[in-house]
Structure formats: structure tokens, C-alpha cells
Structure 1
């Protein structure tokens, strides 16, 4: 996978979106076509996908107008329709209607010493999709500087801001998914990165918007962390205190939300979670690359997901990225590889400032 880099200037949000769209028009167009193909293979007709995207766009305009302005700019700059950008932004909400997807293992250690949390996440996604992605740097309307990893057409996913707050991101599946229109979960991540100073503020933002699909946003601050599990049915907060280590994969940990768990396919969420919990001491390793390599050296499959040749292309997943957050010196540190392969991949640092 190729991870491109992009830094926005100090223009207004729509103008910077236009500049981004013009620079990455081929990637945006390719992403639109690839996702339309995935939707069709997953049993989602294009008219249904576009209807969900329109609803997501309306919710974004109401609750995150600055992000909606960026979408207009990206569309204008790339020559695509705003509706196409919304298809990419709302891909989780669209897929939640028919075929849930599997992605990501996250672990966070909050040292008792007072040091900033140490984190690690894998991003697992479809083998055939998103083989060009981007880390972006921008300044929000409130003046916050942000760095985040995302697919083309998404406003944010995994990121960190210069106020000392970071977000890890794992997909979840709940029986309430698709039961109402709502703000895309990738827009929710952007809202938190743009505006939140504290974990409490991140929780307030998550509780303030309607959602159409489920995810867990593990929010990390300088003094602690919390997993915010979100679904159309509700929001649950799992705090992580000093001296604790917390892991999350792709099943709900809050008992009330877990009662509505929905997973119609064979998932590796439990084995990956067990791997993290059984090797929790590795999360305390201070250097992020060494932390990644340690998890990559765990015997067995661990958290490095490999594509299965016996599965159809639209349900064939692999680990595409290993990433850590530094909230003390706000940066993403990452390799475009699974932990098991990180030793042979460049380990890169991308700062918010």
C-alpha cells in the first residue's frame, strides 16, 4: 500500500478541499469506482448506496458544516460530484446495510509514571481496496492543527491533534446499524480531532450526533484514554486509567451494546483480542517501532491479518497499516505493513505541526 502525504494551507476549508481534490483527482475517481464495485459485490444496489450517502450528507451538513464545505471543495477540485465524495465518506454506513466488514486491532497502555500513553493499531481492510491512502495535515476552523490517516474521500480516520488528543478507530457491527440516518463515523472522528481538547469533550461530541453505523473510537489524551463505543442504539464509554492497558478489536465490550452484536461471518476479532490481552506487556515498550515489531514477533497469526485465497475478493481482508500515536509531540508513526512485516518496511513519522 502507498501512503501519500498532504499538507493543507491556511485557506478556508472549502478552498483547501478544492486544492486537495485537484491534486488527487485520479485517486478519488479510482476509489469511487472501486467502492461502487464493492457495494455491488456485497449486495448493495447503487441506488441504495447513493440514498445512504445522501442521508449521511444531510446529517454532515447539519452537524459538521465545516466538513460539508470541505466535501464541496474536494468535489469541485476533482471534477467528481459531491454525491461521489459522500459515497466514499459513508462507505461504513453503506456496507453496514448488507455486509459488515472486519478491520483493526488497537491497544493502549497508560503508564503509571505520568508519561503519555503508548498506543498501537493495525488497520485491516479489503485486499483489493485502498491501496493508495493518505496522511493529511490541516488546521481546523477553531485553529487546531491535526494530522490523520485516511482513505481518499474520507475526512479523517486515525489521527492526533496539537491539543494532545488522538483517535484510534475500529469498526463494530450492531443490529441497530442502518436503522436511522446519521453522521458518518469518519466524520465523527474528524469532529473530535478538530474540536476536542479532552476525553470528556470527545465523549460529548460522540453523544451529540445521530449515527447510522457502529465503531469504537479509542481516544487518547496526555493523562489517560477511553474507548468510545458508538452505535445507532447508543454510546458507551470504557475509561482507561493510569497504570492500565486496554485492548479492542471488532466486538463490543460494553455489555449492553454487546447484547446487540451482529456478525454474520467468521471473524478473527476474538483471537486478535486475546493476542493483545495475552501480550499486554508489549504495549508498554517506549519506542513505537519496537512496540510494533514486538507484536509482530508473537507466535502464530497474532494481529497480522493475511488475505485468504479461498474467500471471495469482497470478503478478503489484510493488514495494510501499523500505526502508533504520539500525543506528547503530536504525530503519527507508522509503516505500510502488518506488524509481522514491519521490520522490512520504512517506519515513518508525520507530525501535526
Structure 2
């Protein structure tokens, strides 16, 4: 499956609520499509009505209110701008928790949610041809997302500006900010994924967008109770990266993984022991085992320094088709259960440039997106660092 029309770019600014209203107004068509598509997906895949999904996520509002009330302001603004309810928008942002909680409950009774998911990577300067830090991924999801993805560009008054490729109505997905931080993600699911009270997966990604350093991001992940499992691959233009495998709960459910030979790759199963629970990937995302082998071989173990073009080639791999690194719809499945690589993205954290394939990378060249100075906003930490390093140079001279 391909896509003839590039994903729309949307620029928002102002307060959290104002940004949400602008987002909802500009992406109204995509938000409504996303809402309708998930109503169908929940009903057909896990047997829940939309009202049941809303009810199943209502207990997650309070943890977000306690930790990140500004993100609820954004969601209320999205709802107002789109003309839907806050509960609709919140449920979309908690759709990971809806899906996996239902999947875990049904796993011993019947086949529930069959997923094709994401292949992510980070490459530090020694592994790239231009010496830049690159973070990226293929994002594989239901084919309805071809009609709901947007490139959201966010200008904030007191925090880093950021850009994210995201399903319209959700707060964040693959993200790069003006402080030089980049985030790629993988869904993970364990026997403990019962939508317990905590911060939803996509809300935590949004929190990373506000971080100015890699340590900030690790702190955020560790100091809040998470509602669901998830993998967060986070890099910084300083030439550093970390991968966080997480299960529901607090800091005890985080397993950090550091780069090996200046590279990280991850798919949708735990590569380390799962704290206090069991990995359900073999049931829910069986293709993850093959995809990890392929991206390990083509990206992490590549001998030559990699370019963006070489990464597009690696992310276009069709081995184990159709559940491949470059995923295509499986004709054996009904349309509502068909998956594809909805987008492929490489984030150049040094140049603050996004390389985006609007659909499968095997069929769509990367667009090079720059952001007219949006990501040139000086980080408060970078300014302080420059002052300190300037003073050190003066002393040395």
C-alpha cells in the first residue's frame, strides 16, 4: 500500500489549551477519522463499544491530572477545536491501554488483537557518515492510519519546541525537539498490562517532548507510575542514547539498555528479563522476533557508516513478508485487521531535520523536512553550558 498525498503539516502555538484548539481545528478531518476508526477497531478486534472503551480509560484521567495537568488542557483544547468530547480525545490517547488490557484478558480464550508493530533504532556519531546522531523507526499500524497521520509542529513559550509525526488527536509519537532530543517507540505488552492507574503510553511520550536532556527523559520515565508497558528509545544530539524497556508500575519496572558499538535497535518484544511479569509479544506481535534479527543485521551490525539513504534501504526490507520490517497488508486478514508501515522516519538530531516517508519506505522517498527556525530555539541548558565552556576557554587561554 502506498500513499499519494504527503501527510499534512500543522503548526500550533500559545498556551496548552490554545495549542490544542488550533490542533483540533486544523486536523479536524483527521481527528474525526481516527476516532471513528478506533471505534470500529475496538468493536471488531476486542469486542468493546466506544462507551466501554471510554469507561475503561476514565480511571487514568486522575493520574495525568496529578502529574501533567497541562496535557489535559491540550486534550480539552483538541476536543473543543474538533467538536468532540474530552473523553473521546482522552480515550484516543489511551488507546494502547484499551487494546492491551483487552488482549491480555482474552489471550487464553481466543485470538484477540493481532499486531504488526514498529522497528526502531538510534545511531551515534561514529556510526553515521556525517557524524550526526540519528534516531528513527518504521511505524506499523492499522491501515486506517494512512488517513489520520499529521506532522504536528509545536511552539511553546517556556519549554522546548518540538515536532512529532502522530495520529491526529494524539499528543505525540516519533518526536524531535529544539533541545536536540529525539524519541522513537515500540509497543510492548506483558501479562501485567491491565490498564492499571498510571500515565498512559502516549502521554509519557508527550512528556519526553518537553525534556531538555537525556537525563531529564530518564527521570520522567522513572518518577511516574506507568499504566502500560512500552519501549522508549531516546537519543540526544550530544551523541548519546538509551533504550528503556518498561512494564506497568514505577521505577522498578524499567530496564535500561545502553548502545553496543554506538548503536541501538529494538522491536516489540523484551530483549531483557521482564520484571515481575511475562512477555506477551509472541502471542500479540509474533513478527517482532524476525524484525529484530533483520534490523540488527542491516543497521546495528553494518560495517560502513550509514546514511539516510542506506537506512531507508534497510527499513524497506521485505523478508518474512507481509509481516516484514517494511510491512504490507496481509490479504488473509479482513481490512479492519490489516496492518502496514504507515510511515518511516529518520530524525537527524544535529541538523534538526526530519526525513519522512509518507507510507511504506519501499514505495515513498523520504521527504526532508526543516522547520523554519522552530527547532533553533536555544535550550536553557545549552545557553548555560555555552557560558560555562566559554569561561573555561578563557581560563585555558
TM (normalized to structure 2)? 0.81
Aligned pair in 2 of structure 1 residues 227, 261: CA closer, same or farther (>3 Å)?
same
In the alignment, what sits opposite 2:345? 323
The structural deviation recorded for 1:161 is 0.8
User: Which of 63, 75, 83 does residue 87 from structure 2 map onto?
Assistant: 83
The structural deviation recorded for 1:92 is 0.7
Residue deviations 1:168-216 (CA, integer Å, cap 9, x gap):
011111111125122121110110111x222221111011222222111
Q: Mark the structure with the bigger radius of gyration.
A: 2
Whether the 8 Å CA contact 2:79–2:85 is kept in 1: the answer is yes
User: Which of 89, 96, 101 does residue 92 from structure 1 map onto?
Assistant: 96
1:74 pairs with 2:78: yes
Decide which structure has greater strand share. 1
Aligned residues: 348
1: CA distance, partners of 2:89 / 2:287: 31
Gaps of 5+ in 2: 104-112, 376-397
1:205 pairs with 2:220: yes
In the alignment, what sits opposite 1:39? 42
2: CA distance, partners of 1:113 / 1:303: 21
In the alignment, what sits opposite 1:22? 25
| 1:98-177 → structure 2 map (5 Å cutoff) | 98-99=102-103, 100=113, 101-112=115-126, 115-140=131-156, 142-177=158-193
Aligned pair in 2 of structure 1 residues 141, 39: CA closer, same or farther (>3 Å)?
farther
The structural deviation recorded for 1:256 is 3.0
Whether the 8 Å CA contact 1:282–1:291 is kept in 2: the answer is no
Whether the 8 Å CA contact 1:282–1:294 is kept in 2: the answer is no
1:293 pairs with 2:313: yes
Whether the 8 Å CA contact 2:120–2:137 is kept in 1: the answer is yes
Aligned pair in 2 of structure 1 residues 13, 189: CA closer, same or farther (>3 Å)?
same
Alignment partner of 2:328: what SS? coil
Alignment partner of 1:256: what SS? coil
Gaps of 5+ in 1: none
Residue deviations 1:249-306 (CA, integer Å, cap 9, x gap):
0001221349510133462101110001122345965432342124426766451111
TM (normalized to structure 1)? 0.91
In the alignment, what sits opposite 2:290? 271
1: CA distance, partners of 2:344 / 2:225: 30
Return 97-106 or 252-261, whichever deviates more: 252-261
Q: CA RMSD in A?
A: 2.3
1:334 pairs with 2:356: yes
Aligned pair in 2 of structure 1 residues 141, 262: CA closer, same or farther (>3 Å)?
farther
2: CA distance, partners of 1:330 / 1:74: 26
Alignment partner of 1:270: what SS? helix
1: CA distance, partners of 2:352 / 2:293: 29
